[in-house]
Structure formats: structure tokens, C-alpha cells
Amino acid sequence: MNIQENISLKAYNTFGIAKNARFFVSIKSVDELKEALEWAKIQNINPLILGGGSNILLTQNQETLVIKIEIQGIKVVQENDGFYFVEVGAGVNWHQFVLTSIENNWAGIENLSLIPGTVGASPMQNIGAYGIEIKDVFSSLKALNRDTLTLQEFNAGQCKFGYRESIFKHELKDKYVICSVVFRLSKEPKFHTEYGAIKETLEASGIKELSLKAISDAVIHIRQSKLPDPKEIGNSGSFFKNPTISKEHFSVLQNENPSIPGFPNAEGIKVPAAWLIEQCGWKGQRFGEIGVHAKQPLVLVNYGEGDGNEIKNLATRIQQSVLERFGITIHPEVNFL
């Protein structure tokens, strides 16, 4: 275990924010993770666990030990007539895992292509896109208790999945480190083309026969057409969650804004945050080195030398404008550090 000092985190967060870690270490196994956590305990510091850095906004230097999770491995640990159960290391790049699944004809996550980040963060966020969420393909995970340094298994019920939510963002926040995840992937694909522009993209591509790769390629095409590449423009993908409001509230807004989109769910009506933000005039706005993306108002961007606090302040201004105009509070998906 090689603990480094005063390391820039610019390359370790997709916003490309230039903040430093007082201490930094990359770990490739559970044993190395235990060693790093023990070291932090001796130093009496609370370590920061870092995956792909795609869901964080750095607003200050991190005066602690930053532990970069690099645990690898993709293997089938069980199978039955209908499913493969695939265990994946928390440090595996999410999109690379999707591509590996497609190569092996493991079905279920093709709609989640090109989502940034690592496998370890996927259940924490219950990531989702185009009609699929992690909870739909989740079997179990193994996480290390940060206090006792014991490995514990969690099933889907114990994870308390919600919309971009899990128990690891609330009751168990900063208490466990996810080390590996087991996914239940189908032997018989059930294609989901009814969300977003998947169907139209497939038709435009002349696809006659559906396949996992065709669905994945369509999703990749759609995402690349709307979302900036973090390697070119710093960003964390969708910055805000889509809010759910009551049917009564939606009805009032619909009378005032006939074009407002809404999607019924168990709690009420889900309204796209991107639409709300665009209606408030933020789309494409630039403020020095930061701004709102020109094609997707849900994405806040760092054009190069932007600071995390500037982006945080912009997010607050956007929230206030949406609340004032529509009476809706939009919440960030991104964690401020």
C-alpha cells in the first residue's frame, strides 16, 4: 500500500476540478482496503472513498485520506435456467462491464450503456436510464464495514433502493465500502425500446433485428448526441434528479404551461428537471469557465479552470429560479465535497 501526499484530484473527478488530497492511495483488494482504513483510524481521520469520480463536486481540498477503489474482476459465480449471476469488482468501469456483458450475451444492462462511473457506485445511486435501474438486475453486494473491517452481504431488500437512492446514501452513509456487486443477468433478452429515442434511433440506423449490441449502440448514440464527453468538457452527467409532484400541483402547472411533460408514477407525476431548467432560461448559459450545457440543461459543465464553488453557486441559482417559477424543488444527484 503506497500512501501519497498532496495529490491533485483533477484527474480523479469528471468535473476536472483542481483540488488536492492531503493523502491518497489506490487499493486493488479487500485486504488493501482494510489496511488503508486501519491507517486512517490510527491517524484519526475520516477517509473519503472515491470510485470513478463521476458523481462528486469538489468544493475544497480534501484534508484526509482519499481511497481510490480499483478492485477488479468480472466472473460468473452461479447460473440457472434463466440467469447468470455475475460478480463484478467495485473498481470496474461501468461501461466496460456493460460491453463485457454484451459480448457474453448477458442481458439486462444494455440500456445502461455509457453511464460514467464504476460498478461500486451503481447500487449506491441505483443508477438508471431508458426504463432500467440497477434494482431490476441486482442480486447482492459485499461491503466492508468501516468500523469493524468485516465483510457483509446485502440483498436487494436490505439496500432499500429508490429513485437514485439506496441505504448507502442515508442510514449507512460513510459506514460501509462496497467491494463487489452480483448482478442477475438474463439468458433470454427482453428488449426495452419504449423509452427516450431508442426506437427512433434503431429505425434511423436501419436495424431490422433487435440485439443487445443494437440497443447498446442506440443508447450510446443518443447519449453522445446530448451529453458532453467529460474528457472534453468537465461534467458529472445529470446534475439534478427529476422531481415528482402531486397530481394536483401538476394540473395547476399544466393549465399555465400546456406543454409541460409529466410521467405518472406511484408517488404522483414525475416532471423532467431538464424541461424546468430550460423554461427558466438556463440552457446554454455560460459564466466564465462554467455554465449549463447547450444541448442538455440538466448538465452543468466546467470548461477548463472552473471552481467547484462556482458550480455549486450556479446550481443554487438554478434551484431558486425553478422554485420561484414552478413551485418545485429540484435536488442534486451530485455529492458536494
pLDDT of residue 187: 95
C-alpha cell at 122: 451503481
| Domain 234-336 CATH class label | alpha beta
Residue 164 banded pLDDT, cuts 50, 70, 90: confident
Q: Tell me what percent of the residues of the chain surpass a pLDDT of 90.
A: 81
Least trusted range by pLDDT, from 90-104, 191-205, 306-320: 191-205
Q: Residue 182 belongs to what H/E stretch? A: strand 176-186
Q: Which entry of 164, 166, 216, 236 is annotated as an active-site residue?
A: 164
Which three-class secondary structure state does DSSP give residue 282? coil
Catalytic residue check, 146: no
pLDDT, tens only, 133-148: 999 999 999 999 999 9
Does 194 have pLDDT greater than 80?
Answer: no
Least trusted range by pLDDT, from 91-100, 189-198, 268-277: 189-198
Catalytic residue check, 38: no
pLDDT, tens only, 55-80: 899 999 999 999 999 999 999 999 99
The count of residues in the chain is 337
User: For the residues 260-267, what does the mean pLDDT come to?
Assistant: 91
Least trusted range by pLDDT, from 33-47, 94-108, 197-211, 236-250: 197-211
pLDDT, tens only, 81-105: 999 999 999 999 999 999 999 999 9
Q: Which residues pair with 89 in a beta bridge?
A: 180
Rounded-to-integer distance, Cα 70 and Cα 26, Å: 6
pLDDT of residue 197: 84
pLDDT of residue 302: 97
Rounded-to-integer distance, Cα 69 and Cα 258, Å: 47
pLDDT of residue 192: 82
Q: How many alpha carbons fall within 13 Å on the CB side of residue 283?
A: 14
Does 191 have pLDDT greater than 90?
Answer: no
Q: Which entry of 146, 236, 238, 310 is annotated as an active-site residue?
A: 238
Identity (one letter) of the amino acid at 306? G
> Would you say domain 74-226 falls under CATH 3.30.465.10?
yes
Name the residue ranges covered by the structural domains of the chain. Answer: 4-69, 74-226, 234-336
Q: Residue 244 belongs to what H/E stretch? A: strand 244-245
Average pLDDT, the chain: 94
Q: What is the pTM of this model?
A: 0.88
Backbone angles phi, psi at 60, to 5 degrees: -160, 165
Does 287 have pLDDT greater than 70?
Answer: yes
pLDDT of residue 196: 67
pLDDT of residue 65: 97
CATH code, 4-69: 3.30.43.10
Q: Which residues pair with 138 in a beta bridge?
A: 183
Rounded-to-integer distance, Cα 96 and Cα 113, Å: 9
pLDDT, tens only, 213-254: 999 999 999 889 888 888 899 999 889 999 999 999 999 999
Catalytic residue check, 101: no
Residue 266 banded pLDDT, cuts 50, 70, 90: confident
User: For the residues 185-190, what does the mean pLDDT come to?
Assistant: 93
